Amino acid sequence: MDWNVFFSTYAQASAAIIGIIAAFTIAKLITENGEYETLKMNLII
C-alpha cells in the first residue's frame, strides 16, 4: 500500500468536509444577520 496516496486522499476528504461545514456556518451567520437587521428596523419604526 502506498501511504502517500492514503494521506493525500485523507487530506482532501478532510478539507472537503471542513469546507462544507464552513459554508453552512457562513450561510447561517448571513441569515442571522438579516433577521437581526429586520428586527432592528422594526424597533426603530
CA 41 to chain centroid = 27
pLDDT 10s digits, 7-45: 999 999 999 999 999 999 999 999 998 888 887 788 876
Check residue 2 and report its DSSP letter. -
∠ Cα 26 31 45 (to 5°) = 145
C-alpha distance from residue 41 to each of 6, 29, 34, 38 (Å): 53, 18, 11, 5
What's the pLDDT tens digit per position in 28-38?
A: 999 998 888 88
pTM above 0.85, yes or no: no
d(CA 17, CA 35): 27
